[in-house]
Amino acid sequence: MSSGKRQPDPPVRRRRETILLALLLPVWALLLQQSYDTTWSFTRHLYPVERVARYEPLRTGLSEAAGADLFAGYETRRDQTRVFWHAQFALTPTVLTQRYDPATVFQRAQRADPHLLVVEFPSHAEFTRFVTRYERVATRSGRTLRVQDLGNGIGLLDSRSEG
């Protein structure tokens, strides 16, 4: 495996290295400039910390729950997924299961006991409308509903059988 070719003389090698080091100097400067410029444009992928912090107050209501459902009342799947990860990070170790379809959510309200549901809507008005519908379904199934309303479209619905 050893080299069969003749190596360049040390002075030749040293000269090549020196040339390389000199040429690398402007490349390094360009790299540094490019790093600085492109790194800040990359922040569009990041989570604003305030968005995650908004879920923290729900922790008390979920303190003993291993799992809960989550429903995000946004139009795009991308926004719904983002809500999921914000909430999941803030509310760990409670494991959230994302529900995309309101029909499934209402079905779960009738079958799961207790049913814990974290919800987020773009506005408080939409949140209230949803809670009214949910309460109707839960009451029909003989459940009592406790709502933790954070007032910003986010809340925790806890429906369970009395007694």
Partner 1 sequence: MGLAALTTLLVLACGFVLARFALGASRPSAPWPEALAWAPAMGFGVLSLVFFGWRLSGVPGAEPGGLAALALVSVLVLATTRGQAGVEPGGRPEPEDPRRTLPRALRWAGWLVLAVTAAGLLLAFYRWSVQWPLGTTDAINIWNVRARLLLFADGEGIAEALRLTGRGHPDYPLLLPAALAGQGGFWGAWDQALPQATGVTFLLGLGVMTYVGLGRLGAGRMAAAGTALVLASPPVWRWAFAQCADVPLAYLTLAAGVGLASQLDSSSRPPVPPVLAAFAFGLLPWVKNDGVVLAASFGASFALFWLLRKADARPGPRSLLMLAAGALPGLAAVVLFKTSWAPPGAAGLFLGDSPWAKLVDPERWTTVLSTVGATIDPLAEASPWRWIAAALLLALALLAPGGSLRRPHLAFLASSLALTAVGYVVVYVLSPYELEWHVPKSVDRLLLQLFPLVVVWAFALAGSPAEGSRRLPSTRARNASTEGPAS
Only one of the segments 42-50, 99-107, 109-117, 131-139 lies at the binding site for partner 1 (rule: CB under 8 A); that segment is 42-50
CA dist 94 → 24, 66, 156 (Å): 52, 5, 13
125 interacts with partner 1 by CB under 8 A = no
- Residue with structure tokens 């959510």? 105
Identify the residue among 56, 77, 95, 139 touching partner 1 (CB under 8 A). 95
* Whole-angstrom Cα Rg for the chain: 28
Answer whether 51's CB lies under 8 Å from 145's CB: no
DSSP summary character for residue 64: T
Only one of the segments 9-17, 105-113, 124-132, 146-154 lies at the binding site for partner 1 (rule: CB under 8 A); that segment is 9-17
Q: Smallest distance from the beta carbon of 99 to partner 1, in angstroms?
A: 13
Determine the size of the site formed for partner 1 (CB under 8 A).
49
As a whole number of angstroms, the distance between CA 72 and CA 56 comes to 17
49 interacts with partner 1 by CB under 8 A = yes
- Ramachandran region of residue 51, left (φ > 0), alpha (ψ -120 to 50) or beta? alpha
Identify the residue among 56, 77, 92, 107 touching partner 1 (CB under 8 A). 92
- Residue with structure tokens 């070719």? 5
66 interacts with partner 1 by CB under 8 A = yes
- Residue with structure tokens 């444009």? 41
Q: Smallest distance from the beta carbon of 76 to partner 1, in angstroms?
A: 15
Binding positions for partner 1, rule: CB under 8 A = 1-8, 10, 13-14, 16-21, 23-25, 27-28, 30-32, 34-36, 38-39, 42-43, 45-49, 52, 66-67, 81, 85, 88-89, 92-93, 95-97
